[in-house]
Structure 1
Amino acid sequence: MARNARAEQLWEYGRSVLEGARSEQVLRMARQVNAVSYTSAREYAGRSLFELLQNGYDAHPRDRRDGRVHVLLDEAEGEWGTLYVANGGTPFTWRDVERVCELAQSSKEVGEGIGNKGVGFRSILLISDAPEIYSADPDSPLGPEMDGYCFRFAQKVDVEEFLASEDNAHEVAAKYPPLQAPLPLDDVPATCRQLAAQGYVTIVRLPLLSEAARAEVRLRMRELAGAKVPVMLFLDRLAGLTLERRAAGGEAGELDDAHEALERHELTRSEERFAVTQDGAGHGFPVSCATVDLGPSGTFLVARGTVEKERLNSTLAEAVGSGLLDDTWQEWKRSAVVEVALPLPAPPRADRDAGRSTLSCRWARTRPRRSRGT
């Protein structure tokens, strides 16, 4: 599908959503969605950047181990700076467009990735009211162009302009929910083009709301860079995460040498799996193991165990029956995995120089430090 055809598809969908605001019944529902959107955002306060990283991770197929995410805060672009979060996974499809515009809907299957509730993206409303998404062609994602679905979301001014013939246009626009109606974007910003040239296929661009929003992003970037439990530890689809903060110098919005890089952190991950020796009776262990090298963040032993399907289904059914989870959790099709990580001591200098390390494992009942279901 050509880019102009995708733009027309976005416009037709956005126009149909906005047209609904002429109906009093739809408008009543829209007011409720507006309230719930901001309530959901506040419940995710402090997690905006992590939710964007999580979405970038989930965009990579399960079998990828070389994925990349780039987080860039350009403080010279816009009044309060602009945040970019780019990933090298799978470009936006039409289903992704529809789901991101619907509250509590997700294009991800339960168990497919970290998130699936479809509300985390709305946490960005606390730091930006004008998000934009640029994505490569989902049918041909290898090119350097952002020629797929590129769009923003209708804001109050757009709603009021669309409903200009209605007497209550201003009132409707004031209560119209955010992130509902996609509108196509014709131009791709310079920084997005630069990131696309580096191989990223989807970029979320967020002009920041205020000085407080910029401070929030700075804080969360520092937390990700220096987390006591390294953020890359369980992100097994990623090989690299770049956290970069830039400031004035040269043309704002250009990702080039004219900018001053105030901070840049390159977080890396590599994994080497190994077999677990059987015990004296010849019994194997119901786990798989790997050493995970996070560069300066250290090396970890990660053990993975699969939850029995019957036990998983029984637990989910009980939680759904008691109202703790909604019915979609019973659509879980894949196995659930529990991971436990333990930090390993640095190898002796002689072993490091020789490029060797020795690992001796002794299995016992231990208290897990951290676990994740996938």
Structure 2
Amino acid sequence: MLRFFSPSFISTGFVAVLVGYAGAGAIIFQAANAAGASPAQISSWLWALGVGMGVSSACLTLWYRQPILIAWSTPGAALLVTSLPGLPMSDAIGAFLFSSFLLTLCGVTGWFEKIMNVVPQSLAAALLAAVLLRFGLDAFVALEADFSLVGLMLVVYLLTKQLLPRYVIPLTFLSGIAVAALQGSLVGISLDFTFTTPVFVMPSFDLATLIGVGIPLFVVTMASQNVPGLAALRTHGYQAPASPLIAWSGATGLALGPFGGFAFNLAAITAAMCMGKEVHPDPEKRYPAVLWASIFYTLAGVFGAALTGLFIAFPAALIMAIAGLALLSTIANSLEVALRTDSERDAAILTFAVAASGVTLLSIGAPFWGLVVGMAAYLFKRRFSTSG
């Protein structure tokens, strides 16, 4: 029980939630506004997303004793910003439910797991490294924005990495908060501890909306979120079956869609933060970090205004730095796994390059296309080798 309250678990869980809200929270507000949501409905969206992520992450993590983090679909939210204007809220909710139904169907039937079982581990690791690369680079891009803050955090990171590796992230994070406080950068903190009231919206199902919004939301959630999310688990050696995870996230969306929970999926970036060696040397004992993340997610839903205000009060440079530094070891490990096998190296580096490029085709993000190109190269080389 005392180990559950380890600073590394608490800080890692908090940082994962902080990065999630600070990195994509604004997009959620934009998506809700695009749907014409009232202030009460926007609060309901935050409630549904926070509680959905918190409860589902805790349940799956406790069931499998593995760090399984559920998140909202960030590319899905970005899609909604451009897709929802002019649509009735009830039609938007119907599209959310349709997308979640398709996610549940993929999980229940096992289609997603069958597809992912064909993907070599090297390609999955390359995909994960590409998804995380931008965050690792941003840690040093932040030096340009605030050299003293990020520079001190980097020094603390390097020292504690050698002296106190178990506490490298919490100590680095605390040093950043201390410097930000001394600089006067922690301003505008709003702590309004009012319970969020969920608002139910009766869904309606318009065929054009289901096709134009529901199906694209399903595709980008599967391709851009669940694929790298499963890659994060597999790269770190966690073998929880994919189908129940996808089915659970889809069912969560079915339950909370009428309240604004538009899409739930496996987390990749924030989940990887909870899987690194800094959390705990033993991979089997890292899952409490996700339990703390689930607590913070649930609190962010129940006390949406207060927690969101706290998260957005941190300077952007602080968030970029701690997110990137927390992911460096995962990026290094993923690249090592990706390039380990000579026969799969070409396919892996193609996967990495395309996925890291940020290219978007047919409204589908780079991680999906990286996997497509990498699998094509992998299968072509196998076919050529067999023919030879």
Give the TM-score normalised by structure 2. 0.27
Higher relative contact order (CA 8 A, sep 6+): 2
- Between Structure 1 and Structure 2, the one with more helix by share is 2
User: For the pair shown, which has the larger CA radius of gyration, 1 or 2?
Assistant: 1
Between structures 1 and 2, the one with greater strand share: 1
Please give the TM-score of this superposition, normalised by the length of structure 1.
0.28
